[in-house]
Amino acid sequence: MKYSLIITAFFLAFIFLSPAASGQIKIDLKSKINREANRRANKRTDKTIKKSFDKLEEGLNDAVKKDDGTTDEAGKKKNNDTANKEGIKAQGNKQDESVTENKNDSPVLTWAKYDFVPGDQVIFEDNLEGEENGEFPSRWDLVRGTAEIAKLDGENVIMLREGVPEIVPYLKEPKKDYLPDVFTIEMDLYYPGDGTFNIYLYDRKNQKSGSPTGYTDVEVQDDQMNMGRGWIKNPEPNLKKERWMHIAIAYTNGKLKAYMDDTRLINIPHLDFNPSGLTLYTYHAKNDNRYYVKNVRIAKGGVKYYDRVMQNGKIIVNGIRFDVGKSTLKPESMGAINEIYNLMKENSDLKFSVEGHTDSQGDDDFNMKLSQDRAETVMNTLIKLGIPADRLSAKGWGESKPISNNASPEDMANNRRVEFVKM
């Protein structure tokens, strides 16, 4: 009705205002006015229908989201109850705890697919314990630039900040090849958000590289790594550029693998030089772009876990790490634990006594309880992964059974261990 009145008024106004218009013009004008009115009416009708469908679709989406376990606000909170066929799901860099349980009691495991296993004999260890703030780190030598001890979140770190800093381990005979044919290197690196960090596999102060190509370093940048063969990006990048990351390198008779947190990014089947030492270097360190390093460890590799248990009746593992003075597993421990899990899964007759050991620092009674708690943590982790409880037991020995004399950081690192003794 509304549109009919508008059409009539418009038509009459035109007639009265245009007395010279011919009859033919009047007929054409009426037709055009009707078409335009119909077009506008249809447009408004379409808009009304579209709004109705939009509201209907929005309501359906909300219902689906609620059923899918996501929040109404932004759809960001996902339901993590789906696990893989082993009942395990990797959870990236959640470092507050190693194993949690969801509402279905399926283990949600930190670094579930991590396959890096540290060497079994520590040959260089620096946890920066006892270092004085502001001084040069005592277990390192300076090639150039500025490196000094600082405290970050109450913990000692090596701070690299100016002058293109470059440091090497301080050893008695640095010119000699001190990396064995099978070795691992680990460290925690704070990446400030810009530039690259380089890990050279020779001592750039005392040794020659021996590489025909000159590609002797693992480069770290954001969520990618490179060793002269192109940058390899992490398939699940961490959106936070400024962060701590765990870097690990494994070398076995010419084959090299490099890891960032829980992901292997570099896999080189034949390295064209013999790694002989270690240099930490960054061109991009500045006062407003500081790099921090801690927990550097070099370890000599060993035989496979199966061969060890068959030969010796036990497996000595230095790669299971805990928070200082606690029984909380660190995420990088999962490489070794996953290997034990796979070994027990493939050999159903294997039963282990999980035995914890500490170094000689601290009170004897405290160390005894700590070692027991740590052994139980490892045992319970394996049980949550799916190993039957009747195939495992836990025992803590404290500092009572050292395998080294506790005279050096390396000795103490070797004494801080978990053993899997065949039952």
Last residue of a domain, one of 68, 85, 106: 68
Q: Is the pLDDT of residue 415 over 90?
A: yes
370 and 274 share a domain?
Answer: no
User: CA-CA distance, 95 to 288, in Å (whole number)?
Assistant: 27
149 and 288 share a domain?
Answer: yes
Residue for token pair 């381990």: 169
Q: pLDDT value at position 307?
A: 79
**Structure-token pair, residue 130:** 């006892």
Mean pLDDT of 18-28: 44
233 and 143 share a domain?
Answer: yes
| Structural Rg of the chain based on CA atoms | 33
Q: Are 352 and 423 in contact (CB under 8 A)?
A: yes
Residue for token pair 């799916």: 386
308 and 421 share a domain?
Answer: yes
Look at the chain and report how many structural domains it folds into: 3
Q: CATH no. for residue 252?
A: 2.60.120.560
Q: Is residue 84 part of a domain?
A: no
Last residue of a domain, one of 301, 329, 348: 301
Mean pLDDT of 99-127: 70
Q: pLDDT value at position 237?
A: 83
Q: CATH no. for residue 401?
A: 3.30.1330.60
130 and 147 share a domain?
Answer: yes
At 124, which helix (H) or strand (E)? strand 121-126
318 and 395 share a domain?
Answer: yes
Is 8 exposed, middle or buried (CB count within 10 Å of its CB: 0-12, 13-18, 19+)? exposed
More confident: 84 or 152: 152
User: CA-CA distance, 209 to 206, in Å (whole number)?
Assistant: 10
First CA to last CA distance, the chain: 94
Q: Is residue 91 part of a domain?
A: no
309 and 290 share a domain?
Answer: no
At 415, which helix (H) or strand (E)? helix 409-415
Mean pLDDT of 70-98: 36
Q: Is the pLDDT of residue 413 over 80?
A: yes
pLDDT in tens, 253-262: 999 999 999 8
Q: Which of 207, 247, 244 is nearest to 227 (CA)?
A: 247
Q: Is residue 83 part of a domain?
A: no
Q: Classify the C-alpha dihedral 345-341-265-418 as positive or negative.
A: negative
More confident: 46 or 210: 210
Q: Which of 264, 240, 262 is nearest to 98 (CA)?
A: 262
334 and 421 share a domain?
Answer: yes
Q: pLDDT value at position 14?
A: 45
Q: Is the pLDDT of residue 227 over 50?
A: yes
Mean pLDDT of 339-366: 93
DSSP 342-357: HHHHH-TT--EEEEEE
221 and 239 share a domain?
Answer: yes
Q: Is residue 80 part of a domain?
A: no
Backbone torsions φ then ψ of 319, nearest 5 degrees: -85, 0
Residue for token pair 């999980």: 354
Q: Is the pLDDT of residue 101 over 50?
A: no
Question: Could you tell me the residue range of the domain that residue 173 belongs to?
Answer: 121-301
User: CA-CA distance, 84 to 107, in Å (whole number)?
Assistant: 10
Distance of CA 217 to the CA centre of its chain: 21
Distance of CA 61 to the CA centre of its chain: 33
Q: pLDDT value at position 50?
A: 53
136 and 256 share a domain?
Answer: yes
Q: pLDDT value at position 42?
A: 58
Binned at pLDDT 50, 70 and 90, residue 120 comes out as: confident
Across 20-29, 333-342, 346-355, 356-365, least confident range = 20-29
**Structure-token pair, residue 266:** 């570099």
Q: pLDDT value at position 373?
A: 96
More confident: 308 or 242: 242
**Structure-token pair, residue 316:** 């000595």
Q: Is residue 175 part of a domain?
A: yes
Q: pLDDT value at position 311?
A: 81
Q: Are 169 and 140 in contact (CB under 8 A)?
A: yes
Three-state SS at 396 = strand
Q: Is residue 49 part of a domain?
A: yes
Residue 112 CB neighbour total at 10 angstroms: 22
295 and 351 share a domain?
Answer: no
More confident: 233 or 115: 233
At position 179, the amino acid (one-letter code) is L
Is 47 exposed, middle or buried (CB count within 10 Å of its CB: 0-12, 13-18, 19+)? exposed
Binned at pLDDT 50, 70 and 90, residue 93 comes out as: very low
User: CA-CA distance, 217 to 196, in Å (whole number)?
Assistant: 11
Binned at pLDDT 50, 70 and 90, residue 377 comes out as: very high
Mean pLDDT of 301-323: 85
Across 10-19, 32-41, 44-53, 63-72, least confident range = 63-72
Across 62-66, 140-144, 248-252, 352-356, least confident range = 62-66
Q: Is residue 342 part of a domain?
A: yes
Q: pLDDT value at position 306?
A: 82
Q: Is the pLDDT of residue 46 over 90?
A: no
389 and 320 share a domain?
Answer: yes
Name the most confidently modeled range: 55-59, 104-108, 287-291.
287-291
Q: Is residue 249 part of a domain?
A: yes
Q: pLDDT value at position 27?
A: 47
Last residue of a domain, one of 283, 301, 319: 301
At position 197, the amino acid (one-letter code) is F
Binned at pLDDT 50, 70 and 90, residue 22 comes out as: very low
Q: Is the pLDDT of residue 15 over 90?
A: no
Q: Are 419 and 379 in contact (CB under 8 A)?
A: no
Percent of the chain at pLDDT > 70 equals 74
